[in-house]
Amino acid sequence: MPKIQSAAPVYTLAPPQAALAHHLALLRLALHFGVELGVVLLLVLLLESGLVQRLARRVESRRPWAQTALFAAALLLLLDCCVLLPADALLQHALLRVGISIQSWPGWLRDQSIATLLLLVVGVPILVFARWLLARSPRRAWLWFWLASIPVILAAALVLPQIVEPLFDHFSPLAATHPELVAQFERVVARTGTQIPPERMFLMQASVKGNGLNAYVSGIGPTKRIVVWDTTANRMPQDEILFILAHESGHYVLHHLAWGIALGIAGTLALLWLTMRLAASLLRWRGRRWRIESLASLPGMVVVLLALVLLEIVSEPIGNSISRAIEHQADVYGQEAIHGIVADPQQTAVAAFQHLGQAWLEDPHPSAFVVFWTYDHPAIQSRAEFAAHYNPWSIPSTASGHPRYFPPDQK
């Protein structure tokens, strides 16, 4: 592939693929906003119709925690079965039609069942604890809940890769099937200083479910590990896999994980405070109509949940904008990290984005609004275009021409 010098689009799809990608993007967008609207409408329906009052009476118990747990489980199952599961089924149907997914419906249902079980295992205790706090400290419940969430967020970053991921996919040592990749990965690991030994490099059996491509680094400290999908290992050139790995390593070297945790903790504080303010306002506005006197009641939990969902929807672009900025930094870091390891970092990065876009049928021309509101990564076209023209090593040694993260002469 020759060097790209023109202003023509770098990431391209053949016309039939481009049409499929456009229609798939429209479906994803419709499902994205459809799920958000569906959750809001279902919660409003429960409140306006009085169904939430009937549900609360059905789960009466002498033990308040048991009553709350039954109510929370019923509420979460209702949201999952009426909104989340149908949307996931529609997306699975579409992905099967275009060949991105090859997972059987029984296998898909197994994964959905596990996801629903996890929703209950995590969600029910959270709602029980939240109601207990609302009853004990109505004015400061949001603060105590936030303080309790901090160790949970930290623990999740540490252990989830080893607990949750294996429930859905099979992992095996990368050295057992692709020792050549391990040797190359060690070069990137040494260059980036991510300190991941070969025994923590794994191959994920993704090909039993789909044709997508991916490789990533997850976990922190002793649980940090490299994961490569078998589709990636078998279909992408080694240089491109190294770029993806270098990109993921950039998240660690640039402290994106730490920043993400810190921003998540700070954002949770603001979100919880605003949630309680909005929930209180909703209760003053519609509480008499809904026959709800307190947010600490079982029906009051639905009001709190409605406020939380509304705020998460309107704040979505904030988190996505931060995520896109972080991902761009990792793209730059990844391209610089493979300088001297691969023959042509520019072309390697461009080719990697082309393969990723083709595998996932990414829309080459998404609207600016869609990117702003829903994308947590930059559009694949903009990523490829930046990669094609980012070559600070060819510029005379000036402050503006230096690589951002590595010394100019480091190879």
72-102 pLDDT tens trace: 999 999 999 999 999 999 999 999 999 999 9
Average pLDDT value for residue range 211-224: 87
What is the structure's pLDDT at 223?
84
Q: Is the pLDDT of residue 126 over 70?
A: yes
pLDDT tier at 258, thresholds 50, 70, 90: confident
Reported as a pLDDT band with limits 50, 70 and 90, residue 290 is very high
pLDDT of residue 395: 57
Residue 219, exposed/middle/buried by CB under 10 A (0-12, 13-18, 19+)? Answer: buried
- Indicate whether 100 belongs to any domain: yes
Please give the tally of structural domains in the chain.
Answer: 1
Which three-class secondary structure state does DSSP give residue 333? helix
- Rounded CA separation 194/217 (Å): 10
Task: Tell whether the model's pLDDT for residue 112 goes beyond 80.
Answer: yes
Cα–Cα distance, 321 to 334 (Å, whole number): 20
Q: How does residue 61 score in pLDDT terms, banded at 50, 70 and 90?
A: confident
The string of pLDDT tens digits covering residues 137-187 is: 999 999 999 999 999 988 888 888 889 999 999 999 999 999 999 998 999
pLDDT value at residue 64: 86
Strand partners, 101: 210
Domain assignment present for 409: no
Please compute the mean of the pLDDT values over residues 336-363 and round it to a whole number: 96
pTM: 0.91
Mean pLDDT of all residues in 367-376: 96
Of 396, 278, 209, 250, residue with least CA distance to 337: 250
> Looking at the predicted structure, is the pLDDT value of residue 3 above 50?
no
pLDDT-based confidence at residue 400 (cuts at 50, 70, 90):
very low
Is 120 a residue whose pLDDT tops 90?
A: yes
Q: Is residue 8 part of a domain?
A: no
Would the pLDDT of 327 be above 90? yes
**What is the spatial distance between Cα 116 and Cα 113, in angstroms, rounded to a whole number?**
5
Contact 15, 9 (CB under 8 A): no
206 domain residue, yes or no: yes
Distance between CA atoms of residues 141 and 145, nearest Å: 6
- Let me know if residue 6 belongs to a domain: no
Angle between helices 316-337 and 298-314 (to 10 degrees): 50
Checking if the pLDDT of 398 tops 70, the result is no
What average pLDDT does the segment 54-74 reach? 90
User: Sign of the CA dihedral 189, 193, 194, 195?
Assistant: positive
Least confident of 301-315, 348-362, 397-411: 397-411
Model confidence at 8: pLDDT above 70: no
pLDDT average, residue stretch 59-66:
84
Q: Which of 97-101, 178-182, 215-219, 393-397 has the lowest mean pLDDT?
A: 393-397
331/11 Cα distance (integer angstroms): 16
Asked if residue 398 is part of any domain, the answer here is no
Does residue 5 fall inside a structural domain?
Answer: no
Helix axes 64-79, 105-136, angle to 10 degrees: 140
Give the C-alpha separation, 264 to 272, whole Å.
12
Mean pLDDT score of the chain, rounded to an integer? Answer: 92
pLDDT tens per residue, range 23-35: 999 999 999 999 9
If you average pLDDT over residues 238-247, what whole number do you get? 95
Which amino acid type is present at position 38? G
Q: Say how many Å lie between the first and final Cα of the chain, rounded.
A: 23
Over residues 344-368, mean pLDDT = 96
The per-residue DSSP string of 81-139 comes to IIIIHHHHHHHHHHHHHHTSB---HHHHHHHHHHHHHHHHHHHHHHHHHHHHHHHH-TT
* Domain range for 93: 13-393
What's the mean pLDDT in 219-241? 91
In a domain, 399, yes or no: no
What is d(CA 272, CA 52) in angstroms, rounded to the nearest whole number?
23
